[in-house]
């Protein structure tokens, strides 16, 4: 049976923190034929996060992980030193961190224990659309909205270029609050995913033959931009605080929260980053960082793209992420306030892939399992001790 104890050992193993006795215990559990079946069945049922990580073969992943656990167990008995397993195996089962599970007849799951009952739910599709006349429209799941230029299903917003004959350049604004996310298809077909606490300003209809320009006022957005060839040669420009991003046809992520460095990550295509003083061109898998203090542009290579864009796919992907950074992300998605009492706990790191649909208690339980932190929940405030 996959108990909470076994779940904890699996999580600790993935975070490279098992000791000799714990690794021995995990190996003994997997050596049981029934447990081996449950392990493989669980990986199969929850094999979804890894689709965004080079899509390796599932059976090979299962066998690699099992072989590595057994090898680590033998090695640590000989040398008392824990060896690290392959990155492929890590990718395969990081998803174990994303779901709780307990065994009931043929179903597998493990219940987490929470400190207290609270009503803090995960974010959802919600935003405020401000029209060109100043009118505000609340968009949320279940609410249908439509006017002559745009329609919304409640989770998506789509602008109609074919039936919009106006040549006047007017702007709409989409504001996503804490605890929200939203998708918008602009009039040129460009797709924009907005993360929590974000604001986008854009034309209802782009002027044919002229540069297409939008503004990420603040927040985080993932853009899939239609090419200039499809838009009479018009380039695409995104303006955000301290920077201007010139695009041809590409996919990229912009992170431009008010209190953080400005980070642009290129998935494919080409973009040019300007800060008013210099320009830098990004290649795929590169990332630009504009420092809040000196406004300098730094370019670096992204080791794992999924860590950057996982929010768009419905996951938190943390790799050696500090607690203070994690809590900032969680505070936006769950619309909560977080206070870290002990400053020494802010630099503790956590690695894992977690489902964004999970409740806040479940997320905190996973982080608590492999770190020396404790949490308390009081209404909409989380205190980390």
Q: How far is CA 259 from CA 219, 256, 291, 301, in A?
A: 10, 8, 11, 23
pLDDT of residue 15: 55
In this structure, what DSSP letter does residue 111 have? P
Q: Is the pTM of this model over 0.75?
A: no
**pLDDT score recorded for residue 254:** 96
> In the prediction, which pLDDT does 101 show?
34
* Same-domain status, 86 and 24: yes
Residues of the chain with pLDDT under 50: 42, 44-56, 58, 79-115, 117
Residues 18 and 88 in one domain: yes
> What is the Cα–Cα distance from 371 to 12, expressed in whole angstroms?
9
Query: Distance between CA atoms of 382 and 330, rounded to whole angstroms?
Result: 10
- Do 141 and 187 share a domain, yes or no? yes
Q: How far apart are CA 179 and CA 198, in angstroms?
A: 11
pLDDT of residue 112: 36
276 shares a domain with 302:
yes
- Domain span holding position 17: 4-98
Asked if the structure places residue 106 within a domain, the reply is: no
pLDDT tens, residue by residue, 14-55: 555 677 788 888 888 887 766 776 666 545 444 333 333 333
The token pair at 181 is 């996310």
Based on the domain organization, do 34 and 16 belong to the same domain?
Answer: yes
| Count of CB atoms situated within 10 Å of the CB of 58 | 14
Is the domain of 152 the same as that of 231?
A: yes
Give residues with Cβ within 8 angstroms of 224, minimum separation 6: 190, 191, 192, 251
Residue 117 lies in a domain: no
User: What's the total number of domains in the chain?
Assistant: 3
Same-domain status, 273 and 156: yes
Asked if the structure places residue 103 within a domain, the reply is no
pLDDT of residue 41: 55
> Which one of 280, 307, 334 terminates a domain?
307
Is residue 69 situated within a structural domain?
yes
CB 122 within 8 A of CB 336: no
pLDDT for residue 183 = 97
* pLDDT computed for residue 328 by the predictor: 95
DSSP string, 135-175: -EEEEETT--EE-SSEEE-SSEEEE-SSS-------EEEEE
- Based on the fold, state whether residues 187 and 215 are members of the same structural domain: yes
Q: Which two tokens stand for residue 382?
A: 């989380």
**Angle subtended at Cα 322 by Cα 320 and Cα 326, rounded to the nearest 5 degrees:** 105
Same domain assignment for residues 219 and 275: yes
Q: What is the pLDDT of residues 155-165, one digit of tens each?
A: 999 998 776 66
The CATH number of residue 340's host domain is: 3.55.50.30
Of 307, 337, 364, the residue at which a domain comes to its end is: 307
Q: Look at residue 128 in the predicted model and tell me its pLDDT.
A: 97
Neighbours of 103 (CB within 10 A): 13
Asked whether residue 66 is assigned to any structural domain, the reply reads yes
Report the alpha-carbon distance of residue 130 to residue 242 in Å, rounded.
24
Rounded Cα gap, residues 91 and 315, in angstroms: 14
On whether residue 115 sits in a domain, the answer given is no
Q: Are 215 and 354 part of one and the same domain?
A: no
d(CA 152, CA 174): 12
Identify whether residues 326 and 192 lie together within a single domain. no
Q: Are residues 129 and 273 in the same domain?
A: yes
Q: Is 235 a member of any domain?
A: yes
63, 98, 133 - which closes a domain: 98
């Amino acid at each position: 049976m996959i108990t909470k104890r076994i779940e904890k050992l699996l999580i600790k193993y993935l975070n490279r923190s098992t000791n000799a006795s714990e690794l021995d215990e995990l190996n003994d559990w997997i050596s049981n034929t029934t447990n081996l079946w449950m392990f493989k069945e669980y990986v199969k049922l929850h094999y979804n996060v890894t689709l965004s990580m080079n899509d390796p073969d599932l059976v090979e992943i299962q066998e690699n992980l099992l072989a590595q656990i057994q090898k680590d167990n033998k090695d640590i008995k000989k040398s008392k030193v824990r060896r690290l397993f392959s990155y492929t195996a890590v990718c395969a089962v990081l998803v174990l961190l994303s779901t709780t599970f307990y065994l009931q007849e043929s179903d597998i799951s493990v219940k987490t224990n929470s400190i207290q009952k609270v009503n803090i739910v995960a974010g959802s599709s919600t935003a405020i659309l401000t029209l060109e006349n100043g009118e505000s429209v609340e968009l949320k799941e279940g609410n249908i909205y439509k006017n002559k230029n745009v329609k919304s299903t409640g989770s998506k917003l789509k602008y109609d270029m074919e039936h919009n004959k106006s040549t006047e350049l007017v702007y709409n604004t989409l504001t996503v609050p804490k605890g929200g996310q939203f998708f918008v298809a602009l009039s040129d077909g460009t797709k924009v995913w907005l993360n929590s606490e974000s604001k986008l300003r854009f034309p209802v209809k782009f002027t044919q033959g002229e540069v297409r320009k939008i503004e990420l006022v603040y927040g985080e957005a993932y853009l899939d931009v239609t090419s200039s060839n499809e838009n009479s040669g018009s380039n695409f420009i995104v303006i955000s605080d301290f920077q201007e991003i010139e695009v041809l046809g590409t996919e990229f992520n912009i992170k431009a929260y008010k209190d953080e460095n400005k980070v642009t990550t290129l998935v494919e295509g080409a973009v040019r980053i300007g800060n008013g003083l210099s320009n830098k061109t990004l290649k795929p898998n590169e990332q630009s960082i504009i420092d809040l203090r000196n406004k300098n542009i730094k370019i670096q290579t992204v080791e794992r793209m999924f860590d950057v864009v996982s929010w768009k796919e419905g996951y938190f992907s943390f790799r050696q992420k500090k607690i203070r950074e994690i809590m900032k992300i969680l505070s936006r998605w769950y619309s909560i306030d977080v206070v870290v009492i002990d400053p020494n706990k802010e630099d503790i790191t956590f690695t894992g892939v977690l489902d964004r649909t999970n409740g806040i208690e479940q997320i905190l339980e996973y982080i608590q399992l492999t770190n020396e932190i404790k949490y308390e929940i009081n209404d909409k405030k989380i205190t980390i001790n």
